[in-house]
Every structure is written in C-alpha cells, then in structure tokens.
Structure 1
C-alpha cells in the first residue's frame, strides 16, 4: 500500500494510525490507496504493540440474570462512546472460575474490568488485580481489601421496605426465597428481611426461609416445598428476578392465585413483571445508572485517575403493583 501511495512504510503507518505528522495531501493519498486495496487496520496488532487492547472485560455471576444483562447493555453503550468494546464472560458465581477468567483475559491484554465478585473468596485475586495496577470496578457486590471502585445498592433497606409493606397489609407469616450461596447481596437481603420482621415484633421462623439456586426451575421446586407445608406463608419475598419468576410459576402450578391466596414481592424489576396478571410488586435497582456509572469510572481510571477508590451505594425503590393484598381469612 505504501508503494501504491508513493510513500514510505513509516509515512503510511503514521497516516493510517493518525499518530505523528503527515501532510494533508499525503494523508489523502494514503487513505485513497488503502480504500482501493481494501486495507483495514489490524487494531489487535496495534494494541498488542502498545501493550493494551481497547477492550474491557465484564465478569458477572450469570449473564442470564436480567439484572446483569441490563448492566452489560449499558456498559457496552457507554464504553463504545469512548472507543472501547466489551467482552463478557460469566463466572457462574464460582471464585475459582472467576480467577481463571481474570488470568486468561489479562493475558489477552484487556485494558480493565467490571465484575461482580463471586464470593468472599474472590477478595484475594481481586485485590491482587488492583495491586498490579489493572483498573477494576466492582458492581453489585464488594471485595474486602481490594482497592477498587465499587457500586452497590441498599440491599438491606430494600428488603426491609418489602417486608414493611407486607406487614402493613396484614401479613405475619412471610416466606423468604433466597439464593443458597454466600454472596454479598443474598446476605444483605436476608439481613434486611430478618431485621424488618424483628422490628415489627415478629419472630423469624427458619421453616419460612427456602433456599434455591438462582435458576427458575430450582425456584419452582423450592416454592413448591415451602407451600406444601401445613402452616404455609401468606406472603413470599424473593431475593432476585429469576427467583420471582420461579416462585410465580410454582404457585400457579399448585393452584395458588396471586394475590388472592398468596402475596408476592420480588427483589429486582424485570420486563415480565408488568406483563403478568397481576403485575408484580418489586424492589427495583437503578440498573441504568449503575452500568453507565461503572463504565465512566473505568474510563477515568484508564485515563490515569489515581484518586482514592469511590464506593457508591444507590437507594432502591419499592414499586407497588398488584401482587400484594391482605392475607386470606383462615
């Protein structure tokens, strides 16, 4: 191509990469030659020479979760504005798999990461990532000892608001469908549920707390087990949107109507929550704000911002719809 444009290879390289001075006439001639020959710059090769790809990694627990899918979309939109692309790889909420993903993606030269720590065991390798100078933003969960920016929500307050609303509608036996893992959000939402009950003078009952993997099919089974008990709950609070969907399907399979037989509130809003009959009352997180802010924080770190890490906690919002009523008379 340099021959076709009658310039040296160095001049052609400067013209195509827009680095270094090249006269306007020469630059035009090089670009015209590139167009004729169908030349496309190899961004990977250019990035490898500079030691960094213009690609950020996003490692959520499970990309099938609507919350993380929404975050991924907003991250990609915001990063693209700054000339970066996004690579997504789910950890499956497994700390060992998360560590392997980080090592593999770092070896590829990714510029930085947005991730949701899989568990408390994630803290060690995430802290090392920060010590090595790799820009990293944590969302939804935190990693103890890691000097990284973090964005979470008030999980405890959101769970308390849900239980407070159920109690205000006359419920005393409130079931809780939770993730069986030890992740940060599950622990905080459980704490909020328990604090709300005790705050209203209600003694928490272990048999009203059902465990399940955050998978619709598992949530169906856990809901069925919970409501087959003799003294079943009059209301159910679920820990995330996949659990909410599973609970709704499980209740319907048992012939229980929401909210006539059972009231239901879920943590996390999701699109189907407004397409059901009745629509589902939820504790909503500001998903769009979280994704966009995470991208901006990462871009600032990539640009050389060396300030102390920012730790941001957003409030949640209880969105009241039609899935809660007074408990049925018994």
Structure 2
C-alpha cells in the first residue's frame, strides 16, 4: 500500500474505489489531477471521500516536512475591514511562533470554504482558524474538528458545534449601545443588517431586544430589516427604513460596514446623521473612526481576537488531547458623533 493510499491507518484509496464503484486507478487520477475523468465520476468519488472522511495528504507524497509548520486561515469576507484586522492579529502570533499562514477568502460560500479547507489539509496544515461562511452547518466542520488538524472557530459560532471558539460578547455589546440610544431619548429605534440565519445576528438582535424590553419599548417588526452584512446591504436596508411614513429616530446596525452604508443612504436623502437621525454600528473598525460623522460603535478589538484565536490554536496543536475551549471577548461602547450626542447636548444647553 502506498503513502497516497494510507496515512496512519486512515481510509484507503481501495475503500474509496469500492464505495464509488470505480477502479483504484480512477481514484488516483482524481486525487492527483493527472488524467481525464468524467465530471460525474469525479463528483461520485468526491462524495465517497467526504462520506468516508478521507483526506489526501500531499505531505505523504513529498510535502510532509515542508507543510509541518503550516496553519490555514479561512476568512468569510476579507472585503470587510474587521476581518482584515482579525487576520493581522492571527498572523502576528503565528509568525512569532514560526508558523506559515495560508490565508483564504471564501466570499461567504460554504462550497468554496469546503474546497479551501480540503486543500489546506491536503498540504499538511497542522490547524485551521475558520471564520465560517453564512449557513455553515455543524456537519460541515465535524470531520475537521475530529480529524488530524486542530480547529478554532473565530468570530462566528456554529450552533451545535463543539469546536473551540473565540467570539466577542455580541449580546452584551448590542444591549450596551442600544441603552445608550435610549438614554439619549430615542424610543423608535430600528435594527438593520445581517441575515436572520446568522447566529451572530441573532445574538446581537437579542441584545438589542433585551435593552428595548428593559426600557419597556416595543419593537416594531417593520423596523427589523435583514440584509447582507455589507455596505450595499446597509444602503438597501436603510433605504427601506427611510421609506416608512413613520421612520425611526435611531438605527442600530449589525456591523460598522452596514452602518456606513446606512449613513450613505441617509445622506443621499438629504438627512444629516447625528442631527436628523442617529446611526450606530458594531466592531470599531478603522474606517468607523474616520467617516464623517465618526461612527458610534462597539469595540471588540479585532486584532486582539485574532491573536487569541491563534494562541488557542497553537495550544491545541501542542496538545491534541486538550479539551475544547471558548473565549468571549469584551465589547466596549465607543461614543462618537453619529449617535447625535453632541447635537442633543447643544439642544439641551440652548
């Protein structure tokens, strides 16, 4: 049996061939990419590999030594400045520890996520830090978490997954920033951005709902607007809110990117953010500090969460028997002009 067929007693090519109803040589062609195999056959072989939990270890074919210090970083959306800052934190720790980071962007695609994870494992990655794509299911990461590579989920938890996890305190942060708006006198407050299926969205909306309930303020279902967690999503969601006859006086946004989109939408309608309507975000990205007006938001220290994710992964690589761990980072309120605090202070003084 060759190294390609078996690595430390795992599933063999012979077993895959039997499950897929093809020859061993056909499986080898699919693995190595050195021959022509019908698409339907290749897909059948890939399904068999997935079902059997097989990972083709290219390290066993000659890259084992070179890949021994590789760690994969799989990010759902590198166009979001928050995840770029998170990646910097991860790489800071890995580089100081002598690890080479392979960074991949999935564009919120679960299938692309599976592909890049498979490629990283094939090339001998010792561990993977994963910011899950939208709609990632526990079964999408179960094989990885129990396989030969360590796994840490970062920023987005997956309901039902037992993998180690690093997240900010989404619920507390959202409650904190909503209470700030309530203390400024707002009562008709919208929540915009993020998709309802996103666990992070659910946590942040729950924090918003907690604060509204404590203030005995009803939440208008018409002011709960979902959108992609992007700037374009924020523009569209804010457009829907501003089209209402009885529009809100304040808007809590899923993240800073959505909030900046919401601010653009307000400006296009001739509204002054911080005067005519309050807009707040979540994450405290660098961009949030420099937009005009500067964005009131929740700071979760993206770089610090990245560093924590990397240290947790390295601990697991050092001790594969270590129990899964969870770290919940602090969420701090950062008050700037977009919430209208300065305008209200001037109005009160006048």
Give yes or no for TM over 0.5: yes
Q: Deviations over 1:211-239 (max 9, x none)?
A: 22122123212212211211001001110
| RMSD, matched Cα | 2.3
Q: Deviations over 1:73-132 (max 9, x none)?
A: 111121011111211212223333322221222122222100122245431121211111
Q: Deviations over 1:249-308 (max 9, x none)?
A: 111111100111001110111223222333211111121221111111212222235221
Aligned to 1:11: none
Aligned to 2:209: 194
The 2-side partners of 1:213 and 1:226 are apart by: 15
Runs of 4+ deviating beyond 4 Å: 44-47, 326-329
Aligned to 2:317: 302
Q: Please report how far the alpha carbon of residue 151 of structure 1 lies from its aligned counterpart in structure 2 after TM superposition.
A: 0.7
Aligned to 2:235: 220
Given candidates 102, 106, 117, the residue that maps to 2:121 is 106
Q: Quick check: 2:158–2:199 contact (8 Å CA) kept in 1?
A: no
Aligned to 2:296: 281
SS in 2 for 1:267: coil
Give the TM-score taking structure 1 as reference length: 0.80
Stretch moving more, 123-132 or 227-236? 123-132
The 1-side partners of 2:197 and 2:119 are apart by: 25
Q: Quick check: 1:70–1:287 contact (8 Å CA) kept in 2?
A: yes
The 1-side partners of 2:145 and 2:228 are apart by: 30
Matching of residue 246 in structure 1 with residue 261 in structure 2: yes
Aligned to 2:95: 80
Matching of residue 57 in structure 1 with residue 72 in structure 2: yes
SS in 2 for 1:323: helix
Aligned residues: 286
Aligned to 1:259: 274
Q: Please report how far the alpha carbon of residue 51 of structure 1 lies from its aligned counterpart in structure 2 after TM superposition.
A: 7.9
Aligned to 2:104: 89
Q: Quick check: 2:157–2:200 contact (8 Å CA) kept in 1?
A: no
State which structure, 1 or 2, has the greater radius of gyration over its C-alpha atoms: 1
Matching of residue 174 in structure 1 with residue 153 in structure 2: no
Give the TM-score taking structure 2 as reference length: 0.76
Where does structure 2 lack aligned partners over 5 or more consecutive residues? 1-58
Q: Deviations over 1:37-92 (max 9, x none)?
A: xxxxxxx8997244844221111210111111001111112101111121121222
Where does structure 1 lack aligned partners over 5 or more consecutive residues? 1-43
The structure-2 alpha-carbon separation of the partners of 1:62 and 1:181, relative to structure 1 and needing over 3 Å to count, comes to farther
Aligned to 1:290: 305
The 2-side partners of 1:278 and 1:117 are apart by: 32
Aligned to 2:130: 115
